Amino acid sequence: MYLDNRFFLMWLAPVVASFFSVDRLTGGWFYLGGFPIKVAFYGFAFFYLCYLASSLLKSARWVEGIKNTLTGLSLFFAFVHFYLAHYFEMRFTPSIMDTIFATSLEETQEFFSNMVLPHLPLILGYVFVCCLLVFLLPFRWAINPRQNKWILACLGLVFCLHTARAFYLFGPKTVLKDPNIPQQVMPIVREFVMFASSLYHRTQISAMISSFKQPLPKGYLTVESNSVPNVVLIVGESASKNFMGVYGYPVPNTPFLSSLVERERDRKIYLSLRM
């Protein structure tokens, strides 16, 4: 078994992106460095176990395919995490996945033309640096069986210490595992968990919509004389000004607020002319 330049690239890319994440402010080990440290440890453990499992395969083509797939996914997801955190101060969450699935083609085109294309030099530079590290800087670190045992023992020890700390702080529900690990800090695994969660939500929403289409029983509008009227409360949660037309987003999705701003601007101009 050996660790090559792809291993260190796919491991370090999520770690670098984690320094831009809003989760780095949530504390933990060494306060501001807690989140990147968790991403570094659990990312190393995940990719190391993947390399260890791939070394058991006899087909070199399968081994190379697994490593290339892991590298591509890790680099892509790391850049998405960086992009969302740096430019929008947002986490890559199942809600983002739900938004992507629900976005129309027109909105996708508007987003790419206004939010992605202006940063195209950054994207091309990122791809260039990654290709440079993969193809022009060959590196191999051979791991003998004794070193492999030591690495696995160290990973197991740190995991046990982290689990014991979680048990001390948050109770017995984290004795075997911290449920936030695969959802927040483990590269590639967290993205697939988000994808599965988003698909589950879409299934629930589809079932809910289909239930709405079912015929209602007779007399469902009957209201008792002593009952209070129904009140419908509509709450817009997780709204961001980066995607609101009133703050400059090119899609006119806030016509009422935009009209208020225009009327206020016209009022100020009128008052200035009268003076």
Burial of 28 (0-12, 13-18, 19+ CB in 10 A): middle
**How far apart are alpha carbons 132 and 110 in whole angstroms?**
32
Please give the pLDDT value at position 161.
83
In the predicted model, is pLDDT for residue 27 greater than 70? no
HSE toward the beta carbon, residue 18, CA cutoff 13 A: 24
Q: pLDDT value at position 168?
A: 72
Residue 103 lies in a domain: yes
Which amino acid, residue 224? E
CA distance from start to end of the chain: 81
CA distances from 37 to 75, 143, 176 (A): 18, 24, 20
d(CA 47, CA 7): 7
Task: Over range 186-201, report the average pLDDT.
Answer: 83
Residue 263 lies in a domain: no
Band of the pLDDT at 172, cuts 50, 70, 90? low
DSSP classification of residue 230 = P
Q: Which residues contact 148 (CB under 8 A, 6 or more apart)?
A: 1, 52
Question: Tokens 């129904």 correspond to what residue?
Answer: 230
Worst-scoring range by mean pLDDT, 55-64, 85-94, 160-169, 202-211? 202-211
Q: Bigger pLDDT: 92 or 102?
A: 92
Task: Report the pLDDT averaged over residues 40-63.
Answer: 89
Q: Is the pLDDT confidence value at 175 over 60? A: no
What is the model's pTM?
0.69
What gap in Å lies between CA 22 and CA 75, rounded to an integer? 19
Task: Count CB neighbours of 223 within 10 A.
Answer: 9
The secondary structure of residue 211, as a DSSP letter, is H
Percent of the chain with pLDDT over 70: 79
Instruction: Report the C-alpha gap between 176 and 46 in whole angstroms.
Output: 17
Give domain status of residue 168, yes or no: yes
pLDDT of 28 over the 50 cut:
no
CB atoms within 10 A of CB 125: 11
Q: In whole angstroms, give the CA distance from residue 18 to residue 190.
A: 13
pLDDT in tens, 102-116: 777 787 888 888 888
Secondary structure in 3-state letters for 122-143: HHHHHHHHHHHHHHCCCCEEEC
Q: Between 275 and 119, name the one with better pLDDT.
A: 119
**Domain annotation covers residue 227:** no
pLDDT at 184: 76
Domain contains 52: yes
Q: What six digits make up the tokens of 78?
A: 């790391």
Which range, of 124-133, 146-155, 216-225, averages the lowest pLDDT? 216-225
pLDDT of residue 30: 43
**Does residue 154 lie in a domain region?**
yes
Q: How many domains does the chain have?
A: 1
Distance CA 132, CA 8 (A): 13
Mean pLDDT confidence for 172-200: 73
CA separation for the pair 9, 44 (Å, rounded): 11
State the chain's mean pLDDT as an integer.
Answer: 79
Rounded CA-CA distance 120/255 in Å is 30
* Within a domain: 267: no
What average pLDDT does this structure show over 127-132?
87
Instruction: Give residue 174's domain range.
Output: 2-194
Q: Please list, in sequence order, all residues whose beta carbon lies within 8 angstroms of the beta carbon of residue 97, skipping any fewer than 6 positions away.
A: 194, 195, 197, 198
Residue 51 near residue 18, CB atoms below 8 Å:
no
Q: Which of 68-82, 93-107, 210-224 has the lowest mean pLDDT?
A: 210-224
Flag whether pLDDT at 94 surpasses 70: yes
